[in-house]
Amino acid sequence: MTDKMATPIIEPYEGPAGGWGSAGSLAEILTREQIPVSGAALLMKQNKPDGFMCVSCAWSKPAKPSAFEYCENGAKATAWEQTAKRVGPDFFARHTVTELLGWTDYALEEKGRLTYPMRYDAASDRYVPVTWEEAFAEIGRELKGFDPASVVFYTSGRASLETSYMYGLLARLYGTNNLPDSSNMCHEPTSVGLKSTIGVAVGTTVLEDFETTDLILFFGQNVGSNAPRMLHPLQDARRRRVPIITFNPLRERGLERFTNPQSVVEMATRHATEISTQYHQVKAGGDIAAITGMCKWLITEDREAKQVGRPRMLDVGFIAEHTHGFEDFVAFCDGQDWSDLEARSGLTRGAMEEAARVYARARSTIAVYGMGLTQHRKGTQAVRMLVNLLLLRGNIGRPGAGLCPVRGHSNVQGQRTVGITEKPELAPLDTLKELYGFEPPREKGLNTVEACEGIVAGEVKAFIGLGGNFVRAIPDTVRMEDAWRGMRLTVQIATKLNRSHLVNGAVAYLLPCLGRIEVDLQASGPQAVSMEDSTSCFHGSRGVTKPVSEHVRSEPWIVAELAKATLEPNPKVGWDAWVGDYAKVRDAIEATYPEVFKDLNGRMFDPGGLHKPLAARERRWETETGKANFTVPDGLNEDPDMPKRHADVLDLMTLRSNDQFNTTVYGYDDRFRGVKGTRTILFMNSDDIDRLGFRDGENVDLATEADDGIERVVRGLRIVKYEIPPGNCGGYYPELNPLIPLWHYDEEAKTPAAKAIPVRVRRSAPA
Ligand SMILES: Nc1nc2c(c(=O)[nH]1)N[C@H]1C(S)=C(S)[C@@H](COP(=O)(O)OP(=O)(O)OC[C@H]3O[C@@H](n4cnc5c(=O)[nH]c(N)nc54)[C@H](O)[C@@H]3O)O[C@H]1N2
Ligand SMILES: Nc1nc2c(c(=O)[nH]1)N[C@H]1C(S)=C(S)[C@@H](COP(=O)(O)OP(=O)(O)OC[C@H]3O[C@@H](n4cnc5c(=O)[nH]c(N)nc54)[C@H](O)[C@@H]3O)O[C@H]1N2
Ligand SMILES: [Mo]
């Protein structure tokens, strides 16, 4: 089965982000997913203190939400989860797994919600129905037979704090810290880079900071598609004439202009707010160089100001009192040559100075960033470089200022907070030992890339997936799929069918769960769950719709049953009591982290949520030096293995369209980038197209340039002439994931370098 697609159309999109295009796109998906008119009433509950928290992005939930506190993409995510379509035993009876492997990501998920626990039957090559009892009996028996070090417990960032806490505890009681999560592919450079420099592993800004800031810097985050609700505070900031300076290789529409689709006046008058006041099309991987340029200018100007007695450019008081490593950093900046900075960033000296000049004038600055900064070979160093820039002017630990990493999944940050981590030093192992009377494992566990390495090496024998689409989201997908089939056991807890469920181990289970939007009824009544947003606020969420099927179970219940089937009974862990009343899980969370979750049960429905304490906001630096650390990068290059190559090698960025949530593909249009009806495209600069002898619209193959003896090719991409820096090209994730070598990751955080893949364009080979 393939998707029915109209002939692809590529033409520039002239509209703003939001606006009528957004309203039209939303109406279309509500109809397609057969969501009745009550869909509109449902959306009124989205991101409200008494409603459910959006299943899409992690952006902050304001204390005073607007009547419609959702965006086009959040509404799409709701429609996609609440679809009237179902994938039950009859579906699996009709289709073999081999047949389903030929379907697209879109076709698989579009068939609807999973409704029944299923087990893979090798003889018929089909998933067949099982009872929950049979499923847990066999999974438990299997798990008891493994060395715990050979089992991986993966989490995608959507599961609630309650589920995640229970799941982390299950893994540790079982005997392993193998708890990789989607954050390993995402903002791990944030966790590593910020912890080592400012002593917290998360951003330091809260929503209110956007109300008083004087400048917003934007590095590699596509707000219009991936965190659209954030456009509201940005629009408010622009109304106060706050400048926004963007660094992005592509001119992303949401960063250019926005029409609030929920404003009657703006819609009627087609009024759009200009978002970025300066737009710098930095080369992919050129951010360290661009930021160094800004720092160099500030340092030079400050020296002059000091000599002639003008006001200083740097916050010298802050630097002296609060920071460490300043002199080395100054020496690094002084030592850089403007011509190198220009070559590596792709920006002129004038452009870097222009940005620095505005920064020097702003009292309080927020630096926002996303995958454009983190998914590089030196992604962690790029994050640290941004910290350097903020430290120069004391922009951390002050209202209206700070770092704002925009997180991905709706609870990805919270999962880390409640112990989903492969790093034993980040988990409260001693407290767990005391509370539950067991000896927690102390060895470092596997992160995402290491789990893949272990699977390739045959050392990992079993994989439990709490959500997500692991085999599709990781690098080197073709090679990984082969290795994956060598595992003994794969268990996937999921709402919808995806490719990871079809690339299965010898014993394989597919366990359907409730989504967050559904009513979750347990012994003590309907349950609420909680999560942490991108600005470190905890929020409660209550399901509002009827469960998709009576056979589907909640995630906490599934985790508890897994635990009971696998572990020796432990009177101190009340799995059944927890499932009967999730407030008791929250009590356990509070008992484990008393400072962080003070009165979680009492406060999770407070408007604006319960704020997590962040030491750096108070200028307390929980670092090794006890100060905020300036750091010196290894060099200007974020991807040092890239430019030494032949001039024909391009740097590929893998991107999200406006019609997907990660591997979930809602449709084939990327409205803002002017692409309609296709995802198999390659954005190229017109000079590169000419230089390499291709034509706009031509079909080509893309091959990775790597010297590891492995051939990685994706065939049949259509060249789209695009405004992208020379030497860069772009295409969609996850279709291009076969091109990322598994070893191509950030050195420190091991996040795959998905924005810097060395590739060659080839003439299309006959299939
Ligand atoms: N609707 C929707 N929302 C989502 C998601 C989704 O798929 N769909 N995914 C969620 C998840 S898990 C995450 S992590 C976030 C991801 O959200 P983002 O962080 O926005 O991630 P991407 O779309 O991968 O790319 C970000 C931007 O980086 C730019 N870029 C690429 N390379 C570079 C570079 O070297 N330097 C700079 N400065 N910019 C660069 C790209 O042009 C692009 O605009 O969104 C979350 N929200
Ligand atoms: N090339 C490239 N690769 C990338 C990226 C990139 O930018 N470029 N980005 C990376 C990033 S930032 C991330 S976060 C990862 C994403 O990796 P994952 O988090 O593993 O993948 P998703 O696509 O978000 O997972 C989608 C699946 O989650 C399941 N699901 C949805 N809702 C629920 C729920 O409520 N409960 C349960 N149990 N299951 C549910 C559904 O079955 C759905 O098919 O991909 C990474 N991979
Ligand atoms: Mo992510």
- The pLDDT of 202-209, averaged and rounded, is 96
Question: Does residue 664 have its Cβ closer than 6 Å to ligand 2?
Answer: yes
**Same domain assignment for residues 285 and 398:** yes
Taking only the tens place, the pLDDT of each residue in 653-701 is: 999 999 999 999 999 999 999 999 999 999 999 999 999 999 999 999 9
Average pLDDT score, the chain: 94
- Burial class of residue 213 in the structure, from the number of CB atoms within 10 Å of its CB (0-12 exposed, 13-18 middle, 19+ buried): buried
Q: What pLDDT, in 10s, does the model give residues 723-754?
A: 999 999 999 999 999 999 999 999 999 999 99
Confidence (pLDDT) at 464: 98
435 contacts 427 by C-beta, under 8 angstroms: no
Instruction: Write b or e for each residue in 553-566: b if 16 or more Cβ atoms lie within 10 A of its Cβ, otherwise e.
Output: bbbbbbbbbbbbbb
Can you tell me which atom of ligand 2 is nearest the CA of 500?
44
| This prediction's pTM | 0.96
| Residues forming a β-bridge with 762 | 701
Which neighbouring-strand residues pair with 745? 752
How does pLDDT run across 388-415, given as a tens digit for each residue?
999 999 999 999 999 999 999 999 999 9
Q: Which ligand is nearest to the CA of 663?
A: 2
Can you give the pLDDT at residue 495?
Answer: 98
For residue 479, report the distance from its CA to the centre of ligand 2, in Å.
19
Phi, psi of 754 (to 5 degrees): -75, -5
Q: Is residue 628 part of a domain?
A: no
Query: Is the shortest distance between the CB of 16 and ligand 2 below 6 Å?
Result: no
Is 19 found in the same domain as 160?
A: no
Residue 156 Cβ < 6 Å to ligand 2: yes
Classify residue 364: in a domain, yes or no: yes
Residue with tokens 């299943």: 55
Judge contact between 558 and 132, C-beta under 8 A: no
Q: Which atom of ligand 1 is nearest to the CA of 733?
A: 24
pLDDT at 15: 80
Residue 447 in any domain: the answer is yes
Quick one: average pLDDT of 189-209?
97
> Which CATH number is 754's domain given?
2.40.40.20
pLDDT at 6: 61
Total count of domains within the chain: 4
How confident is the model at residue 156, as a pLDDT? Answer: 97
In the chain, % helix, strand, coil (3-state, to 5) comes to 40, 20, 45
Predicted pLDDT at 36:
62
Weakest-pLDDT range from 288-292, 336-340, 473-477, 705-709: 705-709
Looking at residue 486, what is its pLDDT? 97
Instruction: Compute the distance between CA of residue 66 and CA of residue 226 in angstroms, rounded to an integer.
Output: 19
265 vs 533: which has the higher pLDDT = 533
Task: Convert the pLDDT of each residue in 415-436 to its tens digit.
Answer: 999 999 999 999 999 999 999 9
Q: Is residue 537 part of a domain?
A: no
Closest ligand to the CA of 227 = 1
Q: What is the pLDDT of residues 26-75, one digit of tens each?
A: 777 777 888 765 666 788 888 888 889 889 889 988 888 877 777 888 88
Burial class, 332, CB count within 10 angstroms (exposed 0-12 / middle 13-18 / buried 19+): buried
Q: Are both 267 and 362 inside the same structural domain?
A: yes
The pLDDT score that the predictor gives to residue 567 is 98
Whether residues 103 and 220 fall in one domain: no
* 569 and 698 fall within a common domain: no
Identify whether residues 148 and 277 lie together within a single domain. no
Instruction: Indicate whether residue 473 lines ligand 2 (CB < 6 A).
Output: yes
* Domain range enclosing 557: 86-186+425-513+553-594
Write down the pLDDT at residue 643.
52
Return the pLDDT at 2: 45
* 542 domain-assigned: no
**206 and 337 co-located in one domain:** yes
First and final CA of the chain: distance in angstroms?
18
174, pLDDT greater than 90: yes
Q: pLDDT tens, 446-470? A: 999 999 999 999 999 999 999 999 9
Tokens, residue 660: 């997907």
Do 333 and 435 share a structural domain?
no
Residue 534 Cβ inside 6 Å of ligand 2? The answer reads no
654 and 696 co-located in one domain: yes
Which of 71, 371, 655 maximizes ligand 1 atoms within 8 Å of its Cβ, making it the mutation to test the pocket?
A: 371
State pLDDT tens for residues 226-283. 999 999 999 999 999 999 999 999 999 888 888 877 777 777 777 778 889 999 999 9
Nearest ligand to residue 57 Cα: 1
What pLDDT shows up at residue 1? Answer: 42
Q: Quick check: is 415 in a domain?
A: no
- Report the CATH number at residue 561: 3.40.50.740
